[in-house]
Amino acid sequence: MAIKAKLSVGILGATGMVGQRFIQLLENHPWFEVAWLAASDRSSGKSYCEAAKWRLDTPLPERIAQMTVRPAEPSTAANGNQSVPKVIFAALDAAIAREMEPAFANAGCAVISNSSAFRMAPNVPLVIPEINADHLHLIEEQPSRSSTGGYMVTNPNCSAIGLVMALKPIEVRFGIEQIFVTTMQAVSGAGYPGVASMDILGNVVPYIGGEEEKLEAETLKLLGKLNGHVVEPLHAKVSAHCNRVAVEDGHTESVSIKLGSKLGRPATREDLLAAWAEFRPLFGQGLPTAPDQPIEWAPQNDRPQPRLDRNRGNGMAVTVGRLRPCPVLDWKFTVLSHNTIRGAAGAAILNAELLASLGKLEPVAEAAARA
Ligand SMILES: NC(=O)c1ccc[n+]([C@@H]2O[C@H](COP(=O)([O-])OP(=O)(O)OC[C@H]3O[C@@H](n4cnc5c(N)ncnc54)[C@H](OP(=O)(O)O)[C@@H]3O)[C@@H](O)[C@H]2O)c1
């Protein structure tokens, strides 16, 4: 889809870990242009370079550095007569998102959110374009859609996204009855400054508040089926153990699964490898942020590793490896994904691109039609 006029977008929580990734990934985006930045009262009124401690390894774009951080309010009046864009990427803590995201949706914005606040709400889509784009239909169930046109769409928890992308091709061919997953999650997943260095250096913290519950519930919703106006979660058992480890970026997960009976015979290693290699998503491919190969196989017996594999597909591909029989369930493997790209900002940008391609961000669709 060729786009001539870029669509203005805003970032809520622009100064944080995920907010910074949005700025990095949206620089030179072919369809979207950052026109509005907002954060807390601590940052509002300052220039972005004063307000944010830039933590990424590419330079802060000069245009963004000089932009003024605005109050996190949708009204033009609160924004010094600057109108707020109709497409908002949100990177707020869940407690704040719970109040703020509906306010922006009610004001007519498409809110594309990273937070957990509404991921499990029955009328809010939790979406990975390559996996369950059809769940976007839930947008039409939100009251704001019929009143102002605004709505909320969410992307998954950073540990759920890699797991679900690895599981989807397996679920389609064989079915899945049980999932046992142990995560090793990077420190950037806790935002900035996150976990104190004295707590994490040379250490593993076997607890991330609320993470196991999110990983278990979101996995089943993402792999679930849209039935009329509701998503019926996948009927399977999931058990998650979540750990914080001394890795900067990239969540690694050790997974064991018990397969269903869709194939009619026991699946072989070749069957599983073929399911990953031959996976062709119905949606998502060809969008600007989509990787050519969403699931990459690493044949070496000591891969994937965060430092070596997290940037595959510009951080948007997940890497699977170490597939072998599991003596307790059926099969076990390792999956790795970049937590602030595929697991956060990149996921939200891909969702926005999907919405644009489906004509749900109208100005983009109009621009496309003129092209
Ligand atoms: N990091 C990850 O890997 C990851 C992955 C997936 C999802 N997420 C989710 O994404 C969200 C953001 O995470 P993060 O890691 O970027 O957190 P973070 O680094 O702590 O950033 C939080 C952002 O929210 C802003 N904020 C705080 N209070 C506010 C308020 N009252 N009003 C408006 N803005 C406010 C902060 O602004 P100030 O700078 O002004 O305080 C900052 O911009 C969370 O819900 C998180 O669970 C994170």
Q: Which of 11, 17, 56 to mutate to test the pocket of ligand 1 (most atoms within 8 A of CB)?
A: 17
Checking if the pLDDT of 368 tops 60, the result is no
Neighbouring residues of 66: CB distance < 8 A, sequence distance ≥ 6: 47, 48, 49
Checking if the pLDDT of 370 tops 50, the result is no
Mean pLDDT for 209-231 is 97
The verdict on the CB of residue 114 being under 6 Å from ligand 1 is yes
Checking if the pLDDT of 15 tops 70, the result is yes
> Residue 253: phi, psi to the nearest 5?
-135, 130
Q: How many CA atoms lie within 13 A of 32 on its CB side?
A: 31
* pLDDT value at residue 282: 85
| Own/partner pairs, 72-77, CB within 8 angstroms, 24+ separation | 72/12, 72/13, 72/38, 72/39, 72/40, 72/44, 72/100, 73/38, 73/103, 74/103, 74/104, 74/107, 74/109, 75/107
Checking if the pLDDT of 362 tops 90, the result is no
Averaged pLDDT score across all residues of the chain: 95
Name which residue sits closest to atom 4 of ligand 1, judged by CA.
189
* pLDDT value at residue 350: 98
Cβ atoms of 39 and 69 closer than 8 Å: yes
* pLDDT value at residue 182: 98
Checking if the pLDDT of 364 tops 60, the result is no
Name which residue sits closest to atom 32 of ligand 1, judged by CA.
40
pLDDT tens, position by position, 92-151: 999 999 999 999 999 999 999 999 999 999 999 999 999 999 999 999 999 999 999 999
Q: How many CA atoms lie within 13 A of 51 on its CB side?
A: 27
Q: Tell how strand 204-205 and strand 237-245 pair up.
A: antiparallel
Q: 96 alpha carbon to ligand 1 midpoint, in Å? A: 9
Mean pLDDT for 236-265 is 98
pLDDT tens, position by position, 325-354: 999 999 999 999 999 999 999 999 999 999
Rounded Cα–Cα distance for residues 325 and 332 (Å): 6
Rounded Cα–Cα distance for residues 304 and 296 (Å): 10
In the DSSP assignment, the letter for residue 344 is I
* Percent with pLDDT over 70 in the chain: 96
Residue 242 — very low, low, confident or very high, per pLDDT cuts 50/70/90? very high
* Percent with pLDDT over 90 in the chain: 92
Tell me the two tokens of residue 75.
């009204």
Name which residue sits closest to atom 15 of ligand 1, judged by CA.
191
The residues annotated with a catalytic role in the active site are 158, 251
SS3 308: helix
Identity at 127, one-letter amino acid code: V
Q: 17 alpha carbon to ligand 1 midpoint, in Å? A: 7
pTM (global) more than 0.85: yes
Rounded Cα–Cα distance for residues 277 and 255 (Å): 18
Q: 189 alpha carbon to ligand 1 midpoint, in Å? A: 10
CA angle 232, 233, 239 (to 5 degrees): 165
> Among all chains, which residue has been given the structure tokens 């999650």?
185
Checking if the pLDDT of 209 tops 60, the result is yes
* pLDDT value at residue 310: 98
The verdict on the CB of residue 189 being under 6 Å from ligand 1 is yes
* pLDDT value at residue 299: 98
> Among all chains, which residue has been given the structure tokens 């550095």?
65
Least confident of 6-10, 139-143, 361-365: 361-365
* pLDDT value at residue 363: 53
Q: Which of 18, 164, 336 to mutate to test the pocket of ligand 1 (most atoms within 8 A of CB)?
A: 18
In the DSSP assignment, the letter for residue 233 is P
The verdict on the CB of residue 291 being under 6 Å from ligand 1 is no
Mean pLDDT for 53-57 is 95
pLDDT tens, position by position, 272-329: 999 999 999 988 889 999 999 999 999 999 999 999 999 999 999 999 999 999 999 9
β-sheet with 110-113: strand ranges across: 70-71, 32-39, 7-12, 87-90, 110-113, 151-154
Residue 76 — very low, low, confident or very high, per pLDDT cuts 50/70/90? confident
pLDDT tens, position by position, 25-49: 999 999 999 999 999 999 999 999 9
The verdict on the CB of residue 40 being under 6 Å from ligand 1 is yes
Mean pLDDT for 151-176 is 98
Mean pLDDT for 65-86 is 91
Give which of 270, 272, 313, 322 is closest to 293, Cα–Cα: 313
Q: Tell how strand 251-259 and strand 176-185 pair up.
A: antiparallel
The verdict on the CB of residue 295 being under 6 Å from ligand 1 is no
pLDDT tens, position by position, 263-276: 999 999 999 999 99
* pLDDT value at residue 283: 85
Q: Tell how strand 225-227 and strand 176-185 pair up.
A: unpaired
Residue 3 — very low, low, confident or very high, per pLDDT cuts 50/70/90? low
